[in-house]
């Protein structure tokens, strides 16, 4: 058996979660706001520390991870105005003598002036990777003297990123060059009132003089990352300090205001203190973090300092008078603008490259009197939606579909078209293509293709979380493909193994922040906006496959995830091509595709080295018989040397690329006739664009070119996905698992082909009368980001996630209830129930959509309406509870109210 343990502090904050693979530890400030989340790590989990800071209102000011620090800025109404991240200069500036990045040691990888950490100096998340962490008591770094450092003569510049706490003493020295006789060479300190100080000693033989300059006002903000640079030029007689790239006004508080001579040559250097504690004049300990320290043998220009201090806005937001989001601007120059009707329903979303005025996409929405969307018009054309008297979707058209889709339901919301049958528990037992089986907990465990007998088998853990998906050919007991999934003690999916590839995740709240491979090597970093399921960007942290790769065609029996499966080649991790195999034909051996007659035709391994260099590869379509309609195509790629599956992913429906009469020899192109795409900038950041439902419709590169595009039917089936980019976020902003064809909705998995969840709703009938249906059978209006119950469109009058009174109250209620239940669990069932209710109330008030704000204290037994539109009673709070975006236990995918180990009595 496996045991997961939960520990809490005296006020109920969750402090540690210990599972068989790792320990997750959380710390909080005096306002009970989450300040750090640390994963100890193991062979199965990367070791990562995240750090958070807040303003007095409780808004999140910064998120520091192993890659960088993200900073958040708000307006007077506590609305997020911008999210920024430091940038890395493209080139190294001249005359760089030494650099101490603080990445786990005091090494100087540039100048060789390596130091030594002293008296317990540690390392934590920095602006880039790690940073020095000083306790303000006795930590410091000593740097030995050298000829390189002694070369400082008339000019010097120090620049660094600092995140200081208020000094314990009058001064805190972040860098000091001194000698045993307390003579300053060139030193920078921070004062308790937030002023910055530069001390210099110069010599004009035989005269030695010292000068100390201080900023005339407080220029440093404590507990936030900021860039500091200080420079002297004894030839020009000047001293200058910059904070965040802006020059600050200085006053000479000691010595001459004009420098002259040469810098005094000293023989000791320190980070984090003034001098060795055993030497007279020692002390001045720095408390906080210092990162990316650089020392130059010249005075940097303003432009150079600003290049080092530059922060790039990842997102900039503008709001209208009703606090609705009016625009979102991304770093690649694409601005998204939003228009609304008097009912605050979004009527248009325009993604446009501002430099040229060219449209990436524009979606226009029309509604009926009860708020259902009746049409959506975008770059592909018109989509129309029809409804019955219960507001259930009955028809949906799409330009990429041959015919409109038609839907019909029984009295409790089960689909009745296509020969669908259901049992008394509203479980789908059969439809036109598949038969379905369930376990005693109501989980779908087998999906069998009626035409061939091939089937998919699903396995779950004790909390009814999907742990494995296996695909079998009829009569063969050995699985052809196996995918597995693993979760942490908070129910978040932290690992998936698909096609032999392992992907692991580190979360910031509910969102994936960092993505690692099976060797715990960082692969990508994600940036998210203030709303749930609002990815903004994906930055790769590891290069793709190198050139010189050779691959052969691979085959998988058809019918496992759809009537057509194709196999192919992956070029440098970017260009994918494939061959099509048609339902009913025998599966060929590896490297042997078949033609329309079903006869095997061997094909030699294809060397794609040259193709990789040019980014092109011509491959002929092998078979077209039987292709038609909207059958999805799947690409399976194997490594030639190891025969290991490298990739299996959905491409697009057959009809979008070729009809059943397409002649043999036609190139198979991963492209779309309606959405042209380009190969993205290599290893560059990609930016997400979403529609009014939060569905990802395009990804663009740094130049604003479309690198990937998606089209879906009303229930989330992919109709096309031109472009070679692979990333998880798609329909309603949720993760799509191409290996299984499922969407991961946190508490449950969703099958768009069925239009239903695989598992029962963990909250039972509180999520609706049908515990399997998705979005109340109105997916054009509703979504279900946590897999528990319906939430409104990303933009509408009731639940505008970007409005002060938006989706936040609904998400906050859901998340807060989970937090409260966990916090109350030590007190047994009464504590869990009370905690869940109170957490729902508080969470609903604070709103999930705004990071970091804390709830105010409620009156005892105050009646507050919840997401279900019925009142619940709060209880006397013991503390302010941070909202879900900043609390590690917000995710409800571990909240199986029926059988969960934390609260099984909430049936």
Q: How confident is the model at residue 106 (pLDDT cuts 50, 70, 90)?
A: very high
Q: Does the pLDDT of residue 170 top 90, yes or no?
A: no
Give the pair of three-digit tokens for residue 249. Answer: 């006004």
Which of 402-416, 532-546, 570-584 is the least confident region? 570-584
Q: 238: which strand partners? A: 233
| Alpha-carbon distance values, 499 to 19, 470, 484, 606 (Å) | 26, 11, 10, 21
Contacts of 90 (CB under 8 A, 6+ apart): none
> Does some domain include residue 107?
yes
Residue 147 and residue 13 share a domain:
no
Residue 62 and residue 109 share a domain:
no
Q: How confident is the model at residue 152 (pLDDT cuts 50, 70, 90)?
A: confident
Final residue in a domain of this structure, among 640, 655, 672: 672
Residue 642 and residue 565 share a domain:
yes
Buried b (16+ CB within 10 A) or exposed e, 510-547: bbbbbbbeeebebebbbbbbbbbbbbbbbbbeeeebee
Residue 245 and residue 147 share a domain:
yes
The answer to whether the CB of 746 falls within 8 A of the CB of 488 is: no
The answer to whether the CB of 509 falls within 8 A of the CB of 815 is: no
Q: What is the mean pLDDT of the chain?
A: 74
> Does some domain include residue 12?
yes
**Phi, psi dihedrals of residue 575, rounded to the nearest 5°:** -90, 125
* Spatial separation of the C-alpha atoms in residues 623 and 626, rounded to whole Å: 9
Final residue in a domain of this structure, among 638, 672, 706: 672
At residue 12, the pLDDT reads 95
Residue 238 and residue 105 share a domain:
yes
- The neighbour count for residue 629, using CB atoms within 10 Å, is 14
At residue 180, the pLDDT reads 62
Buried b (16+ CB within 10 A) or exposed e, 804-839: bebbbbbbbbbbbbbbbbbbbbeeeeebbbbbbbbb
Q: How confident is the model at residue 675 (pLDDT cuts 50, 70, 90)?
A: low
The answer to whether the CB of 413 falls within 8 A of the CB of 393 is: no
Find, among 206, 200, 263, the residue nearest to 235 by Cα: 263
> Does some domain include residue 605?
yes
> Does some domain include residue 201?
yes
Question: What is the tally of structural domains in the chain?
Answer: 3
Q: What is the mean pLDDT of residues 297-301?
A: 92
> Does some domain include residue 44?
yes
Question: Measured on CA atoms in the order 177, 182, 185, 191, is the torsion positive or negative?
Answer: positive
Residue 147 and residue 251 share a domain:
yes
Residue 116 and residue 55 share a domain:
no
pLDDT in tens, 498-540: 978 899 999 999 999 999 999 888 888 999 999 899 999 998 8
Residue 217 and residue 146 share a domain:
yes
Final residue in a domain of this structure, among 652, 672, 692: 672
Q: Is 35 exposed, middle or buried (0-12, 13-18, 19+ CB in 10 A)?
A: middle
At residue 21, the pLDDT reads 87
pLDDT in tens, 716-760: 998 888 777 889 999 999 999 989 999 999 999 999 999 999 999
Contacts of 164 (CB under 8 A, 6+ apart): 172, 174, 190, 220, 222, 223, 286, 287, 288, 289
At residue 590, the pLDDT reads 32
> Does some domain include residue 455?
no
| Alpha-carbon distance values, 91 to 113, 227, 311, 870 (Å) | 21, 18, 16, 60
Residue 125 and residue 42 share a domain:
no
Give the pair of three-digit tokens for residue 131. Answer: 């940073």
> Does some domain include residue 278?
yes
Residue 15 and residue 128 share a domain:
no
Of the chain, the percentage scoring pLDDT greater than 90 comes to 47
The answer to whether the CB of 695 falls within 8 A of the CB of 732 is: yes
Q: 388: which strand partners? A: none
Q: Does the pLDDT of residue 868 top 70, yes or no?
A: no
pLDDT in tens, 272-296: 987 655 444 446 899 999 999 999 9
Q: Is 305 exposed, middle or buried (0-12, 13-18, 19+ CB in 10 A)?
A: buried
CATH code for the domain in which residue 239 is found: 2.60.120.200
The answer to whether the CB of 419 falls within 8 A of the CB of 408 is: no
At residue 264, the pLDDT reads 77
Residue 37 and residue 186 share a domain:
no
Q: Which domain holds residue 16?
A: 5-67
The answer to whether the CB of 264 falls within 8 A of the CB of 201 is: yes
Q: What is the mean pLDDT of residues 889-901?
A: 27
Q: How confident is the model at residue 898 (pLDDT cuts 50, 70, 90)?
A: very low
> Does some domain include residue 226?
yes
Which one is predicted more confidently, 126 or 364? 364
Residue 157 and residue 11 share a domain:
no
pLDDT in tens, 309-332: 877 788 999 999 999 999 999 989
């Amino acid at each position: 058996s496996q045991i997961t343990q939960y520990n809490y502090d005296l006020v109920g904050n969750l402090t540690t979660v210990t599972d068989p693979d790792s320990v997750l530890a959380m710390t909080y400030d005096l306002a009970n706001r989450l300040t750090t989340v640390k994963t100890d790590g193991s062979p199965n989990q990367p070791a990562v520390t995240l750090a958070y800071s807040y303003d007095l209102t409780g808004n999140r000011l910064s998120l520091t991870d192993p890659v960088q620090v993200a900073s958040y800025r708000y307006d007077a109404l506590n609305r997020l105005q911008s999210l920024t991240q430091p940038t890395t200069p493209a080139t190294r500036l001249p005359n760089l003598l030494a650099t101490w990045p603080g990445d786990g040691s005091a090494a100087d990888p540039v100048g060789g002036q390596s130091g030594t950490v002293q008296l317990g100096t540690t390392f934590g998340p920095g602006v880039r990777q790690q940073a020095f962490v000083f306790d303000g008591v006795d930590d410091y770094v000593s740097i030995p003297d050298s000829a390189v450092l002694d070369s400082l003569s008339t000019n010097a510049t120090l620049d660094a990123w600092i995140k200081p706490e208020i000094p314990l003493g009058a001064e805190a020295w972040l860098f000091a060059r001194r000698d045993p006789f307390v003579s300053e060479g060139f030193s920078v300190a921070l004062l308790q009132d937030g002023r910055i100080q530069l001390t210099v000693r110069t010599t004009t033989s035989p005269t030695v003089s010292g000068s100390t300059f201080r900023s005339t006002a407080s220029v440093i903000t404590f507990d936030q990352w900021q860039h500091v640079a200080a420079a002297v030029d004894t030839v020009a007689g000047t001293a200058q300090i910059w904070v965040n790239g802006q020059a600050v006004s200085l006053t000479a508080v000691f010595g001459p205001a004009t420098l002259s001579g040469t810098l005094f040559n000293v023989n000791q250097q320190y980070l984090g203190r003034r001098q060795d504690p055993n030497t007279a004049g020692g002390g001045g300990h720095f408390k906080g973090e210092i990162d990316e320290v650089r020392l130059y043998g010249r005075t940097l220009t303003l432009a150079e300092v600003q290049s080092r201090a530059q922060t790039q806005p990842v997102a900039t937001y503008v709001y209208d008078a009703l606090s609705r989001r009016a625009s979102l601007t991304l770093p690649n120059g694409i601005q998204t603008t939003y228009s609304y009707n008097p009912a605050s329903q979004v009527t248009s979303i325009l993604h446009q490259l501002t430099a040229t005025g060219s449209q990436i996409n524009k979606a226009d929405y029309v509604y009926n009197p009860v708020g259902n969307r009746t049409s959506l018009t975008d770059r592909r054309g018109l989509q129309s939606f029809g409804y019955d008297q219960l507001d259930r979707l009955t028809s949906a058209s799409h330009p990429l579909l041959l015919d409109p889709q038609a839907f019909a339901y029984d009295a409790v919301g089960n689909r009745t078209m296509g020969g669908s049958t259901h049992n008394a528990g509203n479980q789908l037992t059969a439809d036109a293509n598949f038969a379905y089986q369930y376990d005693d907990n109501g989980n779908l465990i087998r999906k069998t293709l009626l035409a061939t007998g091939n089937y998919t088998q699903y396995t779950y853990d004790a909390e009814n979380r999907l742990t494995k998906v296996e695909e079998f050919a009829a009569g063969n007991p050995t699985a052809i493909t196996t995918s597995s999934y693993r979760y942490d003690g908070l129910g978040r999916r932290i690992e998936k193994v698909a096609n032999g590839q392992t992907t692991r995740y580190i979360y910031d709240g509910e969102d994936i922040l960092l993505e690692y491979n099976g060797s715990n090597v960082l692969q990508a970093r994600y940036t998210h906006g203030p709303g749930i399921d609002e990815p903004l960007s994906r930055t790769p942290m590891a290069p793709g496959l190198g050139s010189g790769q050779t691959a052969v065609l691979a085959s998988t029996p058809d019918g496992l995830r759809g009537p057509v499966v194709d196999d192919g080649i992956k070029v440098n991790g970017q260009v994918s091509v494939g061959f099509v195999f048609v339902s009913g034909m025998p599966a060929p051996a590896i490297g042997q595709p078949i033609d329309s007659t079903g006869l095997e035709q061997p094909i030699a391994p294809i060397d794609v080295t040259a193709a990789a260099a040019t980014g092109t590869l011509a491959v002929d379509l092998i078979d077209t018989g039987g292709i038609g309609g909207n059958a999805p195509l799947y690409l399976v790629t194997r490594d030639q040397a190891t025969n290991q599956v490298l990739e299996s992913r959905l491409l697009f429906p057959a009809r979008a690329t070729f009809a059943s009469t397409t002649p043999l020899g036609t190139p198979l192109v991963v492209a779309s006739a309606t959405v042209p795409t380009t190969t993205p900038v290599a290893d560059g950041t990609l930016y997400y664009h979403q529609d009014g439902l939060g569905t990802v419709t395009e990804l663009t590169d740094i130049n604003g070119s479309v690198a990937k595009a998606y089209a879906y039917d009303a229930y989330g089936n992919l109709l096309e996905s031109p472009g070679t980019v692979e990333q998880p976020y798609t329909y309603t902003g949720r993760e799509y698992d191409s290996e299984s064809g499922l969407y991961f909705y946190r508490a449950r998995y969703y099958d768009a082909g069925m239009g239903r969840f695989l598992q029962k709703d963990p909250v039972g009938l509180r999520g609706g009368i049908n515990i399997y249906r998705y979005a109340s059978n109105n997916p054009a209006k509703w979504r279900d980001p946590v897999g528990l119950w319906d939430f409104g469109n990303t933009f509408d009058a009731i639940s505008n996630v970007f409005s002060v009174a938006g989706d936040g109250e609904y998400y906050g209620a859901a998340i807060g209830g989970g937090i409260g239940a966990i916090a109350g669990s030590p007190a047994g069932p009464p504590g869990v129930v009370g905690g869940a209710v109170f957490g729902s109330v508080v969470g609903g008030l604070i709103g999930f959509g705004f990071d970091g704000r804390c709830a105010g204290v409620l009156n005892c037994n105050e009646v507050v309406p919840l997401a279900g539109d019925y009142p619940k009673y709060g209880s006397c709070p013991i503390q302010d509870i941070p909202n879900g975006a900043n609390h590690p236990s917000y995710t409800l995918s571990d909240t199986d109210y029926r059988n969960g180990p934390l609260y099984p009595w909430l049936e």
